[in-house]
């Protein structure tokens, strides 16, 4: 017994016992994203009872909307997707609801007036991550007795309108506002990529003298920013010219913490696959699921990075 998907092609026929899941991923802009994709792909396997249809939207919302519509027309059993930005999903999610397909959001959130348009969201507390960045900066500046002197900060932001960008910005800004001596010179859009991170950092170094701190909203932008800092003849680190605080804590980011070039890396946990699978299993058994699931995360500095660095697989 088989279900048919799209064409008559036998390759497109699926064993009826498998649960069909359409997965729409933002893109492959970062190391974190690749790890997130792998975590989903490693668990939604045939051996585990799934047939996964994967789409990489290459950073375009229109591609994601197209993918969701194609999942709906193929009558998948579940839709799993990470929305690139928060706005603009109401119509297509309404279509999924009308088709009776549960939607599981991962990583980023959507801005909706009707919360019944998705079943569950699994991801990180980005606002908390932003606050953690502020608090750890405060700790280091206190240790250096720099509570009274002016601290000049630049922020490399991720994709505009994405939950990760919004939360990390708001969380950090709230801590910054409580410190009169912290001055945010500029928040630049580095789009979560190494190339744009470097480009923006070069411009910032050109525009502003004496930058003390860079808050970089993901490790990929940090890699680019460090190149720019180095090319400008400056040094990064707690005792260097510019203190760098990063987000994600992928292996290559943790390596930089260990080397002292990045002072703190705020972890963002990409391992959401198991949560997705648990949620689907519960829904299959008609069990209740929570509306929000937060993945556990921590902050890495030189003090605790060694162990994590050894264990990191991504």
* Binding residues vs ligand GYE (CB under 6 A): 29-30, 32-33, 107-108, 124, 158, 162, 164, 192, 218, 220, 247-248, 268
Nearest-approach distance from CB 180 to ligand GYE, in angstroms:
30
- 29 or 212: whose CB is closer to ligand GYE? 29
Consecutive H or E run containing 207: helix 194-207
Nearest-approach distance from CB 227 to ligand GYE, in angstroms:
17
Q: CA separation (Å) from 299 to 139, 154, 269?
A: 13, 20, 11
**Residues in Cβ contact with 49 at an 8 Å cutoff, skipping those fewer than 6 apart:** 17, 18, 19
Nearest-approach distance from CB 28 to ligand GYE, in angstroms:
9
Nearest-approach distance from CB 304 to ligand GYE, in angstroms:
20
- 141 or 157: whose CB is closer to ligand GYE? 157
Residue with tokens 């309404």: 94
* Cα 182 to Cα 170: distance, rounded to the nearest angstrom: 15
Nearest-approach distance from CB 168 to ligand GYE, in angstroms:
8
Residue with tokens 């525009």: 207
- 33 or 196: whose CB is closer to ligand GYE? 33
- 212 or 219: whose CB is closer to ligand GYE? 219
| DSSP code string of 218-251 | SHHHHHHHHHHHHHTT--BSTTSSBEEEEEE--H
For the chain, state the CA radius of gyration. Answer: 21
* Cα 209 to Cα 141: distance, rounded to the nearest angstrom: 19
Residue with tokens 């890396």: 265
Q: Which two three-digit tokens encode residue 17?
A: 């016992």
| DSSP code string of 23-55 | EEE--S-SHHHHHHHHHHHTTS-TTTTEEEEEE
Nearest-approach distance from CB 11 to ligand GYE, in angstroms:
32
SS3 188: strand
Nearest-approach distance from CB 248 to ligand GYE, in angstroms:
5
- 101 or 173: whose CB is closer to ligand GYE? 173
- 22 or 158: whose CB is closer to ligand GYE? 158
- 19 or 169: whose CB is closer to ligand GYE? 169
């Amino acid at each position: 017994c088989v279900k048919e998907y799209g064409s008559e092609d036998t390759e497109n026929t699926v064993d009826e016992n498998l649960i069909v899941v359409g997965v729409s991923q933002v893109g492959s802009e970062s190391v974190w994203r690749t790890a997130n994709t792998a975590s989903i792909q490693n668990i939604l396997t045939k051996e585990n009872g799934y047939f996964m249809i994967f789409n990489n939207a290459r950073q375009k919302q229109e591609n994601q909307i197209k993918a969701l519509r194609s999942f709906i027309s193929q009558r998948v059993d579940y839709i799993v997707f990470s929305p690139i930005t928060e706005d603009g999903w109401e119509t297509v999610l309404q279509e999924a609801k009308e088709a009776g397909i549960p939607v599981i959001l991962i990583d980023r959130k959507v801005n909706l007036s009707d919360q019944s348009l998705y079943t569950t969201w699994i991801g990180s507390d980005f606002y908390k991550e932003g606050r953690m960045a502020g608090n750890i900066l405060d700790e280091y500046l206190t240790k250096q007795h720099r509570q009274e002197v002016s601290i000049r900060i630049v922020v490399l932001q991720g994709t505009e309108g994405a939950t990760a960008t919004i939360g990390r910005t708001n969380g950090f800004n709230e801590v910054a506002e409580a410190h009169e001596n912290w001055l945010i010179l500029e928040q630049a859009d580095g789009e979560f990529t190494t190339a744009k991170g470097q480009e923006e950092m070069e411009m910032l170094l050109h525009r502003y003298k004496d930058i003390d701190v860079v808050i970089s909203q993901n490790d990929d932008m940090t890699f680019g920013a460090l190149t720019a800092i180095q090319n400008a003849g400056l040094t990064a680190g707690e005792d260097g010219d510019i203190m760098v605080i990063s987000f994600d804590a992928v292996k290559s980011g943790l390596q930089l913490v260990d080397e002292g070039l990045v002072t703190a890396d705020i972890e963002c946990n990409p391992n959401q696959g198991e949560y997705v699978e648990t949620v689907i299993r519960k829904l299959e058994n008609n069990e209740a699921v929570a509306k929000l699931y937060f993945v556990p995360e921590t902050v890495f500095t030189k003090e605790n990075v060694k162990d994590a660095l050894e264990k990191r697989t991504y």
